[in-house]
Chains A and B, each alone.
Chain A
Amino acid sequence: MPAAGDKSTAAGAEDSALLTLTVRRKVYRPAGSEPVEAVRDLAVSVRTAETLCLIGPSGAGKTTTLRILLGLDRDFEGTLTARPALRIGMVFQEPRLLPWRTVEENVRLSLPRPERGQSLDALFDELGLSPWRGRYPRALSLGMARRVALARALALAPGLLVLDEPFVSLDDAAASSLRAAVFGSAASRGAAVLMVTHNVPEALAVADRLLLLSGRPASLVAEVPIRTKRAERGRDWAEAMRRDLAARYPETVAEG
């Protein structure tokens, strides 16, 4: 599996970047109207096994950045380099499951053809999806459907897991259960996590680094490393951090 190989080569290496993206400019040119500049001077570098949160106002070009990062949009000024054979598992904001395929088929189809026959028992057990394997996505709650989308990304054995606003529109219980599943499974696999969110407390709870983006055109405002251990990040710490960030970067982090 590429993920295992990535881990061993990365240990102790100076430059442990899994993926480096530099966007000088990304401009949309819709037919018949003015060009729109979506991204300007944005550099993102994801290191092995870290959790990186991308925070920015909504509508700021975060989705555009993700599309470029996934290699889905090559029409931009800049460079994208990834470690060879890096696999990226994507979890979209809406689950985007094929409604006409069962839960298990949805997961299997994400795999390259030679790997589709592999056993998925452990993965479905880990995520508590075993009873749902034969069901169609319509029968699932949003939380469950997102869990299937997570299983689909994890089945690839990704070196990098990319999540776009994964916990919005969920009640607290469903969100915290999904959060435990996401970060537990990523940690046990040594996969890096890149999460796009506008929820600062959520990012503060899990991130190793925050990247703060400005409004459109999206550009990098600040990079904030967080050295406090996750277990020591209490309510008071998070509140103080958030207030500090809001004072320094008012256009990205809202006053609470």
Chain B
Amino acid sequence: MAERSPRAHRLMALLARLGSVALLVACWWLASRTTDPRTLPSPEAVAAFVVREAASGDLLRNIGITLWRVAASFCLAMATGAVLGIALGRSRTADRLLDTPLLVLLNTPALIITVLAYIWLGLTETAAILAVALNKMPNVAVILREGARGLDPGLEEMAEAFRYDRRTWIRHVLLPQLEPFAVAAARSGVSLAWKIVLVVELLGRPNGVGYAISYYFQLFDVAALIGYSLVFSAVMLAVDALLLQPLDAHARRWR
């Protein structure tokens, strides 16, 4: 009994989660009965659209291309943001020099970065990915700067006393201390990146979920809008649960 309880606990948590989703769908279904189906289509209508769009191949194609853009810009933002953040956290000079530009970039609306990227680089894939990465990068840099500032001085001294070489220090002293910050930046980053990708696609790409949304907006097809949004949210939830959460658990295994 005692060793079965954690599993039972997990089962209960899953049931609670499914229950809340079912309740939400039920409310939606009830609400759709009482309103104009063009404003709020029923769950069945949305499901039917998803099935139709999937059968035509458009759903998979659009979600695939958007996911690719999320992944590319996410990796670019994480890599550049991490390097910048560590440099800012470790060097006072770098921090003084770059703090203001970083703050400016952090507070520049996503829309402006996107429009400027399209004007300067043309309506290209590179411009789209760069625009998303540039929106996300300052956020990563700020989070990792906090991590790099808080390095344990006792461990630094220990590493010095035992003459750790640079590679050993980076792998066994620096990165493990930054790992929780990197995972936090990644989890908040993925959700931020995909929201911005849609705007970028809407403004200047001929495919992807953002393009599909703008197309169905012009047709005022609410079932299509909700359908795309739900499917893409489900995909991103799966990415979080299957990729980022295990990464988070791995980072915390020694705690």
* Residues in chain A within 8 A of chain B (CB atoms): 67, 70, 72, 88, 90, 92, 94, 96, 98-101, 105, 109-110, 112-113, 136, 138, 152, 156
Contacts and interface: CB of A to CB of B under 8 A. Distances in A.
B9 interface: no
A94 B160 CA distance: 16
B160 A72 contact: yes
Contacts, number: 44
Interface of B: 154-155, 157-158, 160-165, 168, 172-173, 176, 179, 254-255
A92 B152 CA distance: 14
B161 to A, nearest CB: 4
Which of A94, A109, A136, A152 has the largest count of B CB atoms less than 10 A from its CB?
A109
Q: Is the interface of A mostly helix, strand, loop or mixed?
A: loop
A27 to B, nearest CB: 20
B172 A98 contact: yes
Contact of B164 (A96, A105, A109): A109
B176 A92 contact: no
B161 A94 contact: no
A120 to B, nearest CB: 15
Contacts of A96: 154-155, 157-158
Nearest to B255: A138
Contacts of B155: 96, 98
Nearest to B158: A96
B172 A109 contact: yes
A72 B161 contact: yes
Nearest to A110: B162
A237 to B, nearest CB: 35
Contacts of A100: 176, 179, 254
A99 B173 CA distance: 10
Contact of B163 (A92, A99, A112): A112
A235 B225 CA distance: 86
A151 B160 CA distance: 18
Nearest to A111: B162
24 contacts: A67-B157, A72-B157, A72-B160, A72-B161, A90-B158, A92-B154, A92-B157, A92-B158, A92-B161, A94-B154, A96-B154, A96-B155, A96-B157, A98-B155, A99-B255, A100-B254, A101-B172, A105-B172, A109-B164, A112-B163, A113-B165, A113-B168, A136-B254, A152-B162
Contacts of B255: 99, 138
A101 B171 CA distance: 11
B161 A98 contact: no
A185 B172 CA distance: 28
B153 to A, nearest CB: 10
A110 B161 CA distance: 9
A90, A100, A109, A110 — most chain B CB neighbours (10 Å): A100
| Among all A-B residue pairs, the 6 with the closest Cβ atoms | A100-B176, A96-B158, A136-B254, A110-B162, A90-B161, A100-B254
Contacts of B172: 98, 101, 105, 109
A101 B255 CA distance: 11
A98 B162 contact: no
A103 B254 CA distance: 11
Nearest to B179: A100
Nearest to B169: A109
Given A98-B155, A109-B162, A109-B168, 18 more contacts: A72-B160, A88-B161, A90-B158, A92-B154, A92-B157, A92-B161, A96-B154, A96-B155, A96-B158, A98-B172, A98-B176, A99-B254, A99-B255, A100-B176, A101-B254, A105-B172, A109-B172, A112-B163
